[in-house]
Structure 1
Amino acid sequence: MYLSNQNHYHKTLNDLLERYTCTEAELDKIALLNTATILSLSYTDNGGFKKCDGEFTDLESSETFKLRVYYFDVKASKSRMMLLLPNTSNYNLNINLATLRSKY
């Protein structure tokens, strides 16, 4: 997936998305970031961000995620949090770029 490189957040997000396989639902969520202002992007290889509040924990579980994005939703005029890349044992590396490019 190639988001416009308006700033370093979009470039970093593009780099991360090339490493992981995303579900259709995640791709739809990521597409929202094309029109949003990314305020903060946090990624971890160890541990994760909790689903309930987005806080970091050093424990990996099905309730944590590797990527947390805070962004400003222009339509709603408020900041929002997006969690992507769940910490599951079957999460695949090496995204299928052809599939993503054809979708977006």
Structure 2
Amino acid sequence: MKHSFKDIISSEKPVLVDFYADWCGPCKMLAPILKEVKDELGDAIRVIKIDVDKNESLAAKFQVRGVPTLVLFKNGEQKWRQSGLVPKNELVQILQSHQ
């Protein structure tokens, strides 16, 4: 069963959404950082990737003007967002503060 984006971001578990594009260099650099963050935090967080070129309406809804843009949701609410690369240790601290 496929869940809608709204269902996914409405969970009590924090959901980090990575709005990215295949042509974006910094997005490629962010991918291994996100994997390390997920490895460190495990089940405490969910990480999903949204390709802005394939999901233009979703990107527009959340006013994603540049990629990569990270948006953290919890219970359907946007708790944090930042565009560009975020260092792993900084990202882990931000995510832990919203658990």
**Greater helix percent: which structure?**
2
Return the structure number with greater strand share.
1
| TM value normalised by structure 1 | 0.30
- Ranked by relative contact order (alpha carbons within 8 Å, sequence separation 6 or more), the top structure is 2
Q: When the two structures are superposed, what TM-score results if normalisation uses the length of structure 2?
A: 0.31
| Structure whose alpha-carbon radius of gyration is higher | 1
